[in-house]
Amino acid sequence: ILEKIKEIICNAEIISMLDIATSISKISEKRNYTRPILNNKKSLLMEGARHPVIEYLLNIEEDFIDNSLDVNKSKKQISIITGPNMSGKSTFLRQTGIIVILAQSGCYVPCAKAEISIVDRLFTRVGASDNLSSGESTFLVEMNETANILNNLTDRSLILLDEIGRGTSTYDGLSLAWSITEYLHNSKSSPIALFAPHY
């Protein structure tokens, strides 16, 4: 084995690439994924988009209701996603992020049609968590993560924000959501952002 280690490693790498390619091809065909068009327009167009994990985990008698997204940096830079609790806002945000990552990694995507710009960074602020053992409340974790996004975004970033301001009082949370939206809109970078505020 030691004498042939280079050949073994080379073969293992080739087999792993074949395994990935065939697995992705099989899933794409079985689940009716489509080939995305990657462009340089700083826009996202997804028609008939579905969440690849939730769609797969649903019971056979349930259907995942697909949805569409059409945003671009020049006219539809920020989208405010609204709706009651359990209406799918967080699912929609996560689905968008997953589709962008799949497309940029060379995979087919769970859409009827997809035209996706190259994204240099995908920033997300989703879910409520804390780090109490280090003295960080849910609100502090949320603010640290949000500050990181605002300090590191570029004009090619995709920002997915879910329930900013949830960890504090109504007026404080509303003020945070409002000011973050204004900052994203007025920023020199003005990245594409999807925002599902808590308020």
Say how far apart CA 31 and CA 80 lie, in whole Å. Answer: 30
Q: Give pLDDT, residue 130.
A: 64
Q: Give pLDDT, residue 50.
A: 95
Q: Give pLDDT, residue 171.
A: 87
Residue type at 6? K
Q: Give pLDDT, residue 73.
A: 87
Q: Which residues of the chain have pLDDT under 50?
A: none
Q: Give per-residue pLDDT as tens, 123-179.
A: 998 876 667 777 778 788 888 889 999 999 999 999 999 888 777 778 888 898 899
Global confidence as pTM: 0.87
